[in-house]
Structure 1
């Protein structure tokens, strides 16, 4: 199975998005890194799927749920990359 280049773009955008949001949530909850990770997942999912919904509603762009899934997966990797530094 070959992954489309468009999905890779979403995946690679999700990584820094997750890392930045994890850093922000860790700043808010410095003593609870696991809660910060869960808190960071909410905006990652919201931004990723919200962007796809925006594309569907406005007709600007191409609506594809798998794009949102690729961004969420990348965000999960970004959160996981920052998490060991907080433990």
Structure 2
């Protein structure tokens, strides 16, 4: 914590925030300490089953478009998206 090394006024000056903003951040920080770092997610079934036909349309911000229809391997789609981004 910065408060272990600096006064609250030094922190406010360095971050260019008001004392009330600092107090609010401290309150939020103290309440967040009880939150765990990891949240266990339920094991959900896959949306697309292997060898299921798909219809995929990709429109990238650079204007590139691609349309795929049929049975497609997920790894192929990931590789294709990676290639389009580069």
- Is this a same-fold pair by TM over 0.5? no
Task: Say which one has the larger Rg.
Answer: 2
Instruction: Say which structure is richer in strand.
Output: 2
Of structures 1 and 2, the one scoring higher in RCO (CA 8 A, sep 6+) is 1
Instruction: Say which structure is richer in helix.
Output: 1
TM-score, normalised with respect to structure 1: 0.28
TM-score, normalised with respect to structure 2: 0.29
